[in-house]
Structure 1
Amino acid sequence: MSSPQQVAPERSIFGVDPLDDFVTMVGDWIYVNGRGKPNLEIEGKIGQIIDQETGERVQLPVRNETIVDLSRTRFDSRMTISQHAQYNRILNSLVSRSGESSYTGAKISYHRRKEIDYFHPAPSGKVRVTRDAETLAIKPDGIVQKQRIADLNIYCPNRLFDYRISINVEKPADEPTSEHVSIREKNRLSYAHQNFIVDLTQVTVPEKPQEPIHELEIEIKDVEQLMQAGAQAKSNPASNGSGPNGQEWTSFDDQVLIFLNNIRMLIRYAAPSPVSYKAVIRLLTSLYAL
């Protein structure tokens, strides 16, 4: 006798999944800070939230991923060269897998760029001119004045890295006539998947050519489309808890969730770094104090 066919369990007594509070909080933050602003850039960077007094990563009495608003902290987006190399291998393997004939998912494309950013003084901040590292020709849309709008720091106590979501406006600008005041060389590997780009970048400045900085960030490609989805979701009463089901996932919620999931998955693949001397001393001191 065959066993009865398994029926998938209903998502709740109401028959639906509730909206994820974390996703809706991040989505609301993105929508409130980004709506009505042209030339938006929304990106997530992995790194660590650093206590400015100790110079070490903050330690908070929480057990899971948490949005934090802390004073006397800074966000350090640097990683080690070995971590950079590991991410390079992982992302390259994803590109190779997506190119196989049996692969049915969304393709992942790969592009390397070597650029130089020249920063010129302006009445309100600086103008960035991005040039091709070989020809020194200005890149398309390569002259912008960047304005920071808002940052959201997320602490991940169970992971090696935390992350920061940033909203900026990159306003097109005219080519400066003044001399540049600083230079930044970028060797960037970009991996595009659906509406997202993962940038793995080595940054070098002339003052410290032997000390390159390695960073990883995830950028939303079509921010305008995301904000349109947000406006549509906010105009739908069902999406904010007043509809017949109380909670309804929208396209905007899904895109925010995928953005967060990209960051989360990359953090979970992070390779450990050597423990710092200060961290060891602090741990030993706390143990002997028990």
Structure 2
Amino acid sequence: MEATRKRPREEEEDSQDPAAKQRTRPQNSNAPGTTATPASVSQNTSSGATPPTGTPSSSGHQQQRPNQGQHPNPAHPSQPYRPSKLEHAFFGIEVMDDVVKAIGDFLLQYCNQPNVEIEAKLGVIIDNNTRQRLELPVRNEVVLTPNSPYLRYRFVSDMTLILYKHTYEVDQFFQGPGGKVRVTKDQKTNKVIENGIVKKERIANLDVYSPRNAFDFRVSVNVEIPESAPSGTPQFERNKDRISYRLNNFKIDLTQVKSGNASNGNNQPHNYSQMRQPSSNQQDLTHELEIEFIHPEELIRERDIRTNGGARPDRFYEVVGRFVNNIRGLIIQ
């Protein structure tokens, strides 16, 4: 029987190079390292659509994500989330302590004076009606409105007895043409100390009531104007036993004051104390604790930058904050 003749198509395929036939042959889905693509996926790919993520292949394996391996999972996913940077607030604004802001506003108004003195004294605020420490329906520090018609009080800087080494000075007060002149002498040498003759003018006070602590405090702005030596007899004297501590631009003075030889007893310091009651032999003895700027021009310089503008941001309220923080530290000790 005559052999069946091959059709032209089959003859053409037989004449092709064996290597070419191998390239055109479909890959074996069972070959290691290969993944067969379903027909439906191939159609979607050829039309430009992205294959659905996680579509199983014909070999049963999960199809790899396009970006898999570029962003690996955390090594320890069970650890709590810790942001690299903690923001202070939603709007990036750090709100200033309200008492510091009030004291800063007060000093911003009054500190720009020649020969200025900026100090704070610890003491107690006395209600003029009860003659006891002021009681207000508040729990925390509050700044009192100066010269308020609704609250009659006075600030008394007397404290408890403080034990420390004594340095001896005496203040003599003379009546001058423009007011009282203070002459400060060393008791041991009877010589006037450096810058010891001044006329002190009070500019303004701001009182802070602190019910959580044993003491309140008063921030004062004064001007000490140098004067020449006065003549005559002093009206009264204040003998001071004082020790001072310095830290950066602040000085702390612990002072025991004994007043005498006064013609007007109404000007003598009140002898109120939180810890002791007045007695007959202590009526002219007081104990004062105060902190002041050694160089108030630092604060004035920051004030000028704030009000007039400068090459750098001002640190006015930062300096005031350090001042108030030192006051609070003294109170709680």
Give TM class, smaller chain.
0.7 to 0.9
Q: Is it true that 1:52 corresponds to 2:128 in the alignment?
A: yes
Partner of 2:241: 187
Q: Is it true that 1:25 corresponds to 2:95 in the alignment?
A: no
Of structures 1 and 2, the larger Rg is shown by 2
Q: Is it true that 1:218 corresponds to 2:291 in the alignment?
A: yes
Does structure 2 conserve the Cα–Cα contact (< 8 Å) formed by 1:112 and 1:190?
no
In the TM superposition, what whole-angstrom CA distance separates every residue of 1:225-260 from its partner, at most 9, and x where no partner exists?
2111111022349x9xxxxxxxxx841111100000
Partner of 2:319: 255
- Quote the Cα distance in structure 2 between the aligned partners of 1:9 and 1:202: 48
Give 1:209 deviation, angstroms.
7.6
In the TM superposition, what whole-angstrom CA distance separates every residue of 1:50-83 from its partner, at most 9, and x where no partner exists?
01121101111112110012442110111111xx
AA matched with 2:212: N
1:209–1:118 Cα change, 3 Å:
farther
Q: Is it true that 1:41 corresponds to 2:121 in the alignment?
A: no
Partner of 2:157: 77
Does structure 2 conserve the Cα–Cα contact (< 8 Å) formed by 1:115 and 1:186?
yes
Partner of 2:92: 15
AA matched with 1:255: V
- Quote the Cα distance in structure 2 between the aligned partners of 1:167 and 1:212: 25
Gaps of 5+ in 1: 89-110, 240-248, 270-290
In the TM superposition, what whole-angstrom CA distance separates every residue of 1:190-246 from its partner, at most 9, and x where no partner exists?
000011001000001235985421110001111112111111022349x9xxxxxxx
Partner of 1:125: 179
Q: Is it true that 1:197 corresponds to 2:251 in the alignment?
A: yes
Gaps of 5+ in 2: 1-74, 262-279
Between the two proteins, the alignment pairs up a number of residues equal to 232
Does structure 2 conserve the Cα–Cα contact (< 8 Å) formed by 1:64 and 1:158?
yes
Does structure 1 conserve the Cα–Cα contact (< 8 Å) formed by 2:202 and 2:223?
yes
Give 1:20 deviation, angstroms.
3.2
TM-score using structure 2 length: 0.65
Q: Which moved more, 1:120-129 or 1:5-14?
A: 5-14
- Quote the Cα distance in structure 1 between the aligned partners of 2:166 and 2:83: 48
Does structure 1 conserve the Cα–Cα contact (< 8 Å) formed by 2:102 and 2:143?
no
Give 1:177 deviation, angstroms.
1.2
Bigger relative contact order, structure 1 or 2 (CA pairs below 8 A, ≥6 apart): 1
- Quote the Cα distance in structure 1 between the aligned partners of 2:281 and 2:224: 27
- Quote the Cα distance in structure 2 between the aligned partners of 1:24 and 1:60: 21
In the TM superposition, what whole-angstrom CA distance separates every residue of 1:17-63 from its partner, at most 9, and x where no partner exists?
1233332221121121122x210001000111101121101111112
Q: Is it true that 1:232 corresponds to 2:305 in the alignment?
A: yes
Give 1:176 deviation, angstroms.
0.1
Partner of 1:94: none
Question: What SS does structure 2 have at the residue aligned with 1:258?
Answer: helix
Does structure 1 conserve the Cα–Cα contact (< 8 Å) formed by 2:124 and 2:217?
yes
Give 1:112 deviation, angstroms.
6.0
TM-score using structure 1 length: 0.74
Question: What SS does structure 2 have at the residue aligned with 1:205?
Answer: strand
The aligned runs of 1:114-153 (5 Å cut-off) are 114-153=168-207
The counterpart of 1:154, out of the listed 208, 216, 241, is 208
Does structure 1 conserve the Cα–Cα contact (< 8 Å) formed by 2:197 and 2:226?
yes
Partner of 1:62: 138
Report % sequence identity.
40
In the TM superposition, what whole-angstrom CA distance separates every residue of 1:81-100 from its partner, at most 9, and x where no partner exists?
1xx24xx5xxxxxxxxxxxx
Partner of 1:178: 232
Does structure 2 conserve the Cα–Cα contact (< 8 Å) formed by 1:10 and 1:16?
no
Does structure 1 conserve the Cα–Cα contact (< 8 Å) formed by 2:167 and 2:242?
yes
- Quote the Cα distance in structure 2 between the aligned partners of 1:234 and 1:57: 38
1:179–1:264 Cα change, 3 Å:
same
Q: Which moved more, 1:206-215 or 1:148-157?
A: 206-215
Question: What SS does structure 2 have at the residue aligned with 1:18?
Answer: coil
RMSD: 2.3
More strand by share: 1
